Structures are given as C-alpha cells and as structure tokens.
Structure 1
Amino acid sequence: MNTIDLKSELKPLYKPSAKTVVEVDVPAFNSLMIDGEGNPNTTEKYKEAVEALYCAAYTIKFALKRENALDYVVMPLEGLWWADDLTSFDRDDKDNWKWTMMIMQPPEATKQLVQAAITHAQDRKGLPGLRKIRFEPFKEGRCAQIMHVGPFAAEGPTIQRVHDYISRHSALRGKHHEIYLSDIRRAAPEKWKTIIRQPME
C-alpha cells in the first residue's frame, strides 16, 4: 500500500503562516466542484453540495485504495465566494452570495474512475447533490494568502490584510477563496483554521 500526504507535499499552499501574508503560485489541480448561491448557513442547496462532495471524495478514496493500492487523507473542503453586487459582502447579505464548493483530488483520480465512483455513490446514497458535481482542473496562479484562526464571522480584518498586501504589490483578480482545515463540528470556533486566499494580477 502506497500512502501519500498531499497537504504535506503542498505545504506552502496548505500550511501558511497566521502571522504574515505570503505569495504563492497555485498550479492546476483536479477538483470535485459544485456551484450554487444563497446563504451557506440556511440554504438546503449548500448543505446538499457539501454532503455530496464528501460522499464522492470518500468513494473515490476507497476506489483508489482498492484498485491502485493508494491511501491518503481526503483533502479539505474549499470555497470560492463572490456576488454580482460586491456590497452584499459588506452588508453581510448572504442570501445574494454565490459559491463554488470543491475538494481537490490526487493525480491518480482519473476522469473515468471519478465518474464511476460518483455513479456508485448515486446508486448507494441517492444524494441530490451528486448529480451536480463536475470534475475539472482549477488553476489560480499568483495568489496572496494567510491563515485565519477563529470563527468565520471574525475573518474581516484577516481578509483586509490580504487585500492591503495585494494593493501594495499588484491588483486583485478572481474570486475570494477559503480553505477549511478544521472540523467545525468538533473544534471550538476560536480554534478554527481557515486559509484566506486571493488571486492577484
């Protein structure tokens, strides 16, 4: 059995400092993705998306373990966030937020294996979100990022630090990106770890 640790192999991307904003170059990674919109705290579509992504990710993991003798820890949930009216973020108007939730997959997860795993998960679980999953490469290139420690509601100053850094060195582009490293069902909010990442020109 071959075991890989993608977060350790990609340490600059998935284990940044919580003290200093750093620049990273993010190459293309294949990911499971689901698009949606609405308040992540209340909309059923968001809950369905996250549930489906984890279901598919673990089905793929077990398929690779069985067929390729490959074991690994499933990568964390990630989210791209944006809105047609950017003031909705300032007003905390979550009902108008748009999002793409995703989980990065190892290189060994081929399109054929992923599709077979999703079909298998649909047959077993019947989760509505599984039908919305797309599997494709996602590349961000030059980005600035930092680790935020604490509840999501307290991210504002951390996000501003990233934006200020980019303003001094370049210009913002793309979508606000968050990577959720903590199990919020178990960890106390003050200990939640979230990578705040923003593409830059």
Structure 2
Amino acid sequence: MAKYEWRKQEKAIYPNRKQPTIVTLGPQNFITLTGHGDPNQPEFSRRVAALYAISYTIKMAPKKGVKFNAAYDYTVFPLEAFWTLPADFSGDIQTQKHLLVYKIMLKQPNFVTPEVFAQAQAMAAAKLPADLLTELKLETLTEGQVAMQLHVGPFATEAESFAKLASYLANAGYRRTSQAHKEIYLSDFRRTAPEKLKTILRVAVARI
C-alpha cells in the first residue's frame, strides 16, 4: 500500500485555499488532551509535545519491530484544537487568554484501535510526563456540518478571516450553531514566520 498522505487524500477535510467551504464530517478518531489557559505559556507546549510523542510512537512502531494489525505507512496528521470560553465571558480575549479552554488533538489512521492506543501508551511511557500519559484519550468525534475558512497570517488577525466566513455563511443561508471553533494548524507555528502561518478555521453550522 502506498503511503497515505492526508494533504493529498483528504482535501475536503483539510482545504488549502482561501475560499470558504461547507462539508459534513463523519466519525473520526483522535488522540486528545484537554486543558485551559494561555496557549503562549509552557503548559500548552507541554501538552502539544505529548500528543506528538504518542502519535509518532504509533507511526514509528514498525521500526521498533512492532506491527499493529492492518497498519500502513502514513503522514502524521496536523495538530487541531477546539477553543471555547466560559459562558459568562465578556471583554477582549486578547487580554484574557488565561480563560481559554481547549481540546488539542491529532487525528489517527483507522487501524488505531483502543488496543493499539493502550500499547502505544505503554511504549511511550518512559518519554511522557506521568500526568499527561493518563490524560491522553483516544476519542471518536463526529463534527457534522461545518464551515471552514483558511486563514493566512498571525493568530492575532484571525478576526478578519472569521468576518469573511460570517459574511459567506449569511449569504449562503447558514448560521453558526456554537461560539466554539476549531483551528487546524497546517503550519508548524513553532518554526514558521507569523505572516506565513496557515490555519484552517472551522465552525459548526446549520441552515437558517
């Protein structure tokens, strides 16, 4: 089997163009970690590192002589994160990022079952903080109907892309069903210049 590459084979889920799109997403499997606080602080980076550590443990298992049932070679999926705020929040989020609540995640290929995940946890135990090892979860998430907008540039200017998406939804006869949103990081924000960052903004929607 040829290497599975999400950029080529899942373009509808991970669009790399600025035109807004609406799609319906079925069940997908993710390894997840929840947390809260400013993503610019070390704790967020620690949780991201844990997600990548266990995901690469699964991907690189064949090189360690471990063969999971029905496994195949693939490109590790991009980091994704659901972002929410307390229900009574008001004010400028740029000055109150400590109130953010997030669930970060990495999508997994379909051969990653609960049994594979448990084995990967055992394999990665020595290189993961004990508290995060027990917080990692394998979850099946169904997002349903969503709208997406590619944002190019620093995170601080995302409001401009959200405004474009809102205009598109209004003209197309859709509305957002939640104030929470998802971000999918097509660029490595640790190594990419802010003006070159590519981030998919995704929101749940329904017909008006």
Q: TM-score, normalised by structure 2?
A: 0.87
Give the structure 2 partner of residue 78 of structure 1: 80
1:59-110 per-residue CA deviation (whole Å, 9 max, x = no partner) reads 0112267415621110000010011134355554101110000000000111
Provide the C-alpha distance between the structure 1 equivalents of 2:96 and 2:157, rounded to a whole number of angstroms: 16
Give the structure 2 partner of residue 121 of structure 1: 124
Does residue 27 of structure 1 match 2:7? no
More helix by share: 1
1:107-138 per-residue CA deviation (whole Å, 9 max, x = no partner) reads 0111101111012111x213242221110111
Give the structure 2 partner of residue 67 of structure 1: 67
* Counterpart selection for 1:51 from 46, 49, 52: 49
Give the structure 2 partner of residue 7 of structure 1: 7
SS at match of 1:17: coil
Alpha-carbon distance change, 185 to 91 in structure 1, aligned in 2, over 3 angstroms = closer
SS at match of 2:33: strand
Provide the C-alpha distance between the structure 1 equivalents of 2:138 and 2:163, rounded to a whole number of angstroms: 32
Give the structure 2 partner of residue 111 of structure 1: 114
Give the structure 1 partner of residue 176 of structure 2: 172
- Further displaced range: 142-151 or 68-77: 68-77
Deviation of the 1:156 alpha carbon: 0.9
Gaps of 5+ in 2: none
Provide the C-alpha distance between the structure 1 equivalents of 2:191 and 2:37, rounded to a whole number of angstroms: 25
Alpha-carbon distance change, 154 to 103 in structure 1, aligned in 2, over 3 angstroms = same
Moved over 6 A (4+): none
Provide the C-alpha distance between the structure 1 equivalents of 2:110 and 2:79, rounded to a whole number of angstroms: 17
Provide the C-alpha distance between the structure 2 equivalents of 1:77 and 1:62, rounded to a whole number of angstroms: 18
* Counterpart selection for 1:163 from 147, 166, 184: 166
Provide the C-alpha distance between the structure 2 equivalents of 1:148 and 1:186, rounded to a whole number of angstroms: 17
Alpha-carbon distance change, 88 to 116 in structure 1, aligned in 2, over 3 angstroms = farther
Provide the C-alpha distance between the structure 2 equivalents of 1:190 and 1:144, rounded to a whole number of angstroms: 23
Provide the C-alpha distance between the structure 2 equivalents of 1:184 and 1:16, rounded to a whole number of angstroms: 16
Deviation of the 1:48 alpha carbon: 2.0
Q: TM-score, normalised by structure 1?
A: 0.90
Does residue 182 of structure 1 match 2:187? yes
Q: How many residues align?
A: 198
1:42-61 per-residue CA deviation (whole Å, 9 max, x = no partner) reads 2x432221011000110011
SS at match of 2:13: helix
Q: Percent identity at matched positions?
A: 33
Does residue 200 of structure 1 match 2:208? no
Question: Is contact 2:53–2:128 with CA below 8 Å preserved after alignment?
Answer: no
Question: Is contact 2:50–2:128 with CA below 8 Å preserved after alignment?
Answer: no
